[in-house]
Structure 1
Amino acid sequence: MIASFANLSQWTLPPWLRVESSSVATFDRSYVLLALSMYMIGLIMVASSSMPIAERLFANPFHFIVRHMIYIGLSLCVAALALQIPMHQWHKYSGNLLLVGIALLVVVLVVGRNVNGATRWIGIGPITIQAAEPAKLFFFCYLSAYLVRRRDEVMENVKGFAKPLLVFGVLSGLLLMQPDLGTIIVMFVTTFGLLFLAGAKLWQFIAISAVGVTLLSMLAYFSPYRWARVTGFLDPWKDPFGSGYQLTQSLMAYGRGETFGQGLGNSVQKLEYLPEAHTDFVMAVLAEEFGFIGISVILLLSMTLVFKALLLGRKAVSQEKYFEGFFAYAIGIWFCFQAAVNIGASAGIVPTKGLTMPLISYGGSSMIIMTMALVILIRIDHEIRLQSIQATSRATGTHKGSKKKQSKVNKTKLIEGEND
């Protein structure tokens, strides 16, 4: 026992966690606190909302809870690995990562698992990978690197603006074959926002928004099940047992929650009245059990994370770390829009889309990739802080050297004066 304590006393923190003779932290701890808070809330809500369906499907009420805990563990392991990757490596291999994302979208169409009419998952033994999740992250990485290389071209002519849209078009075509319109919308909005922050001209945005809205409207109108979702969203009570069933049940959950909720575990809608209660509609169960206060806490956590990402992007760009800045902007926009769509869909504000609530909903691929995105923000913040600390140390060393040199000169002059 004594020997183990002796060995423990010799253990040191890894370099990225160390603060070298300074009170300045080398990374922002609040990202970790935000992530852990959302993990814990998500675990509690998945446990509360999934027990009835898990009992029916697997005769084990803890089936989804155990798997969700495993996903959290895997996310933390992936986070530990991703945290060691310098940002210049993400920049250097952004093109290769894009090819990996495209390859995953092709593979899922060939050997993917079909669930509820959609082919979005690649099965590898007991593990399933939703190909669209890493494809989103890799595309945003590529787009950030492209804007660094071609920023002047993007701001000056149509050619530079159109190239990333062509890549987006290829990814969209593959996603439509699954089909997965929700991911396309997330990628479109994030691309739109990132190009705006990179300095593209106003007329370019008017053109792309007009084309984008037209195409998305056509995709919805000419697809019967998508059009049923749109019309069901506009008036869910018109067909409460058909196209509007899921939304009406979700709205009932929000209504029962009122201000303070019914209490943890007291949701009625999770008793298989509300489909997908532990995935896409976990926020409806949270609203029923914790009310307006519970939803406000989630919104506050999400908004804090988004604002921190956007401020980090601005800080990186101001220090001429453009790739890191654009990547942070992309992650912030992505997180914000996906959270807004998930909560908005469950509250009847936007049409229902199959998008998870980041870091809260049940779903391994989404949680792991969102955790990687959060870790990238931590890494960007760490590198900026480390650069600042090193610059301060060099400046302090130079100042001390100058004072020492000046002191030596003054001493020499004093001796010469005495000799005279």
Structure 2
Amino acid sequence: MTTSVLSKLDNIKLPQWLSAEQGQSSATFDRTYLLLAISMYMIGLIMVASSSMPVAERLFNDPFHFVERHFIYICLSLVVAVITMSIPMSLWQKHSGHLLLLGTLLLVVVLVVGRTVNGSTRWIVVGPITLQAAEPAKLFFFCYLSAYLVRRRDEVMENVKGFAKPLVVFGVLGGLLLMQPDLGTIIVMFVTTFGLLFLAGAKLWQFAGVSGVGISLLSALAYFSPYRWARVTGFLDPWEDPFGSGYQLTQSLMAYGRGEIFGQGLGNSIQKLEYLPEAHTDFVMAVVAEELGFVGISVILMLSMFLVLKALLLGRAALQKEKYFEGFFAYAIGIWISFQAAVNVGASAGVVPTKGLTMPLLSYGGSSMLIMTMAVFILMRIDHELRLQSIQATTKKKVKHNKTKKSSSMNKTPVKLKTKDDKEGEQYDWI
């Protein structure tokens, strides 16, 4: 019975758009990444429009202020997508160290000349452009980490020294992020780093030991910082102080409660009427829950899940074809997107403490959208290169086979075959 079940499972084929077998199709691009990104862009544009109009009317006397800017970010994201698709992965690997230095420099610059909002110094303002330094720093660090694992994979697997080196780099970046402060980005980088090291083959005892130390340090940072500790305690029981430390979460939970299964209808949210702070950025999913209900939340989570699943399958396919940098980079992007989406939704639903993390490709925020777009189209570029490799390998195999066949046929000698009528002559044929 077990054998029959296994044979049936082996016969199950994934849809072409979800398959990790890149050589099955003659297409050189997987357009599913583009469709997923555009779908989330459009949903995000609609929900940012719905959730931001009241606060935009009060702050700028223009209800479409945030919508217009979000649309511009989407257009810029498409430009970034085209540029990213034209950059070979070999250049990412070659310049990973330079990109890490650039990310570190941005984190230093933001502490010197950055703009402070709500007690956090996270933004570099250059004319009309506002850049959140932590966003490119995350992508560049994951690029560096992927290249490091290619160079030092055996060292990572065999001793603590190789395992600890990238953690030192992470510690430097984490220290700069704490000075902003931005604990949410540190947690995302921490989880992605350890997830990637684990997938690269780090020993379990090393992984468990350093993870324990990291979790202890993060817990200490929360405990000895009054405002962080207030967030943790407010998350555990937000109704204890609904107009103080638990205000934002209680308003978000009300939005989830009002949404029920099918929601109150697009545009009919009450919490967005400036009851819920940051309704168009960190808490946009609460407005989605109130207006579109459980169904709307499920659709967005399914889109995110498909994107993450494709990233992980792509990473596995790249490693199988010995494209190790591309495989590790795809894994890192998949872990990053999945964890950030989980934290964003979990924070708005009261599952985890509140963190200032956007919903990938959906929330308002130019830096996050541009960098997330770059990450998605890096995946598309990796897929493109794997497909080209498969097509070239198939073409070479066919050419070699044809040459071998032609050579063998030319070396054959004619064999005399007797026909029925031997008196009229003899017939020769090639065999």
Q: Does 1:117 align with 2:114?
A: no
Alignment correspondent of 2:325: 323
Q: Deviations over 1:162-202 (max 9, x none)?
A: 00000000000000000000000000000010000000001
Aligned ranges for residues 13-412 of structure 1 at < 5 Å?
24-410=26-412, 412=413
Runs ≥4 residues deviating over 6 A: 415-419
Q: Classify 1:323/1:23 alpha carbon distance in 2 versus 1 (closer, same or farther; 3 Å).
A: closer
Alignment correspondent of 2:18: none
Task: Give identity over the alignment, percent.
Answer: 79
- One-letter amino acid of the structure 1 residue matched with residue 414 of structure 2: K
* Structure 2: segments with no counterpart, 5+ residues: 1-23, 418-425
SS state at 1:252 partner: helix
Distance 1:415 1:119 in 2: 91
Distance 2:257 2:206 in 1: 43
Query: How many residue pairs align between the two structures?
Result: 397
- One-letter amino acid of the structure 2 residue matched with residue 343 of structure 1: V
Distance 1:292 1:188 in 2: 30
Distance 1:404 1:155 in 2: 48
Q: Classify 1:176/1:321 alpha carbon distance in 2 versus 1 (closer, same or farther; 3 Å).
A: same
Alignment correspondent of 2:414: 413
Q: Deviations over 1:104-146 (max 9, x none)?
A: 0000000000111100000000110000000000000000000
Q: Report how far residue 408 of structure 1 moved.
A: 2.2
Distance 2:415 2:379 in 1: 55
Q: Report how far residue 23 of structure 1 moved.
A: 5.8
Distance 1:205 1:239 in 2: 38
Q: Report how far residue 414 of structure 1 moved.
A: 4.7
Alignment correspondent of 1:5: none
SS state at 2:332 partner: helix
Distance 1:341 1:260 in 2: 23
Q: Report how far residue 407 of structure 1 moved.
A: 2.5
Q: Deviations over 1:250-292 (max 9, x none)?
A: 0000000000000000000000000000000000000000000
Structure (1 or 2) with the greater helix fraction: 1
- Alpha-carbon RMSD across the aligned residues, in angstroms, is 1.4
Distance 1:77 1:210 in 2: 42
SS state at 2:280 partner: coil
TM-score normalised by L of structure 2: 0.90
Distance 2:214 2:300 in 1: 30
Q: Classify 1:106/1:415 alpha carbon distance in 2 versus 1 (closer, same or farther; 3 Å).
A: farther
Alignment correspondent of 1:17: none
Distance 2:250 2:223 in 1: 22
- One-letter amino acid of the structure 2 residue matched with residue 413 of structure 1: P
TM-score normalised by L of structure 1: 0.93
* Structure 1: segments with no counterpart, 5+ residues: 1-21
SS state at 1:85 partner: coil
Bigger radius of gyration: 2
